[in-house]
Every structure is written in structure tokens, then in C-alpha cells.
Structure 1
Amino acid sequence: MAALLERADQAVSVTTMVRSFSARLKEVSSRATDRLVIFKDNEPAAVIVNVDAYQEMLDELEDLRIEAIAHERMSTFDKSKAISLSDMKARYAAKE
């Protein structure tokens, strides 16, 4: 949870957020601030990030998932069961 905040200006209380929502949203959407952590009762309650930054995080997470699957598959790879590229093309290429 410590990684939520890099700087103090990324923290905002619910009350402050309500009072200055438009300005704070503009900060995030323009990437002047990369994220806002909203606190309620001195506990982090939500994080607001720019849409592009959020998509970048999702893309990176997907890449990491694919990499983990590839590592798992490579650990159980049996070369004797491998199919050559030419055999694969012959087997699955669209017939004209």
C-alpha cells in the first residue's frame, strides 16, 4: 500500500475532492498529476488515474500474464512432439 503515494500532493481527502473535483480531475486527465489517492477516514479509499495511464497498466498486466503462460509452457515443452513450420503450414494452411 505504501506504493500508492510517491508524493504528498497525490493524496487528497474526500472533502477536498468534493470541493475541487473539476480542478483535480483536470490535473489527472492532463497528466499534470499521474494519480490521486483519495482518503476517507485517513485510509486510502480510491485511486483516480488518467484513462491512457490505466490502459497502459492493463496492457502491461496482459503482457505479464502472457509471459507467465509462455514460461509455463516452455517448462513443459517436449521437443519430440514439436511440429515443423512446413508441416504446420501443410496441415493448417487454407486450401485454395
Structure 2
Amino acid sequence: MVRSFSAKLKEVTSGEQSHLVIFKDNEPAAVLVGVDAFQAMRDELEDLRAELLAIQRLSSLDEQNTVSLEDMEARFK
């Protein structure tokens, strides 16, 4: 890897290769991905966490204390 890092980095950053798994002592040690792919993964993870939180909150929703979207918008006009 040391001798060919520049070439491998170019493969990943150009999109020729989506990722590169780096091994140490025959075990996966790290993954090299381009910045765009990394940001896309972070964005997707954030979206999934927000969706999970919404699902969890829906299960304990108290219909008696909820405010409609229209009422909420009227409060802030």
C-alpha cells in the first residue's frame, strides 16, 4: 500500500473504485472512500436516525395534546 497509495487514492477519488479496504496483518483495518461518498453516507445515516426518532415518538403520541399544522402556523403569523 505504501508504494501504491497515490494510485489507489486516485482510483477512489476519481470514482473508478467506490472504496478501498486496507488490511493490516491480514485483517481489515480501515476503509478509504471519497469525500462525496463519505458525505452521502453521513447524510443517509442522519436521515435514518431522524426517521427512527420520529417512529419512536409516534408510538407515544398523545392525541389530546397535539396541535394541528394549521394551528401552529397561525400562532407564528
Residues 7-51 of structure 1 deviation map (CA, whole Å, 9 limit, x = unaligned): xxxxxxxxxx10011110000001111111111111111110011
Relative to the length of structure 2, the TM-score reads: 0.91
Q: Which residue of 1 aligns with 2:13?
A: 29
Gaps of 5+ in 2: none
Gaps of 5+ in 1: 1-16
Q: Which residue of 2 aligns with 1:84?
A: 68
How far the C-alpha of 1:82 sits from its partner, in A, is 1.3
Relative to the length of structure 1, the TM-score reads: 0.74
Does the residue aligned with 1:18 lie in a helix, a strand or coil? coil
Percent identity over the alignment is: 62
Q: Distance in 1 between matches of 2:52 and 2:13?
A: 32
Equivalent of residue 43 in structure 2, options 53, 59, 73: 59
Kindly report structure 1 stretches of 4+ aligned residues shifted beyond 6 Å: none
Residues 44-95 of structure 1 deviation map (CA, whole Å, 9 limit, x = unaligned): 11110011110110011001000000001110111111112332133233xx
Q: Distance in 1 between matches of 2:69 and 2:31?
A: 47
- RMSD of the alignment, in Å? 1.1
Q: Distance in 2 between matches of 1:89 and 1:32?
A: 48
How many residue pairs were aligned? 77
Structure with the greater relative contact order (CA < 8 A, sep ≥ 6): 1 or 2? 1
Q: Distance in 1 between matches of 2:69 and 2:6?
A: 56
Q: Distance in 1 between matches of 2:37 and 2:71?
A: 43
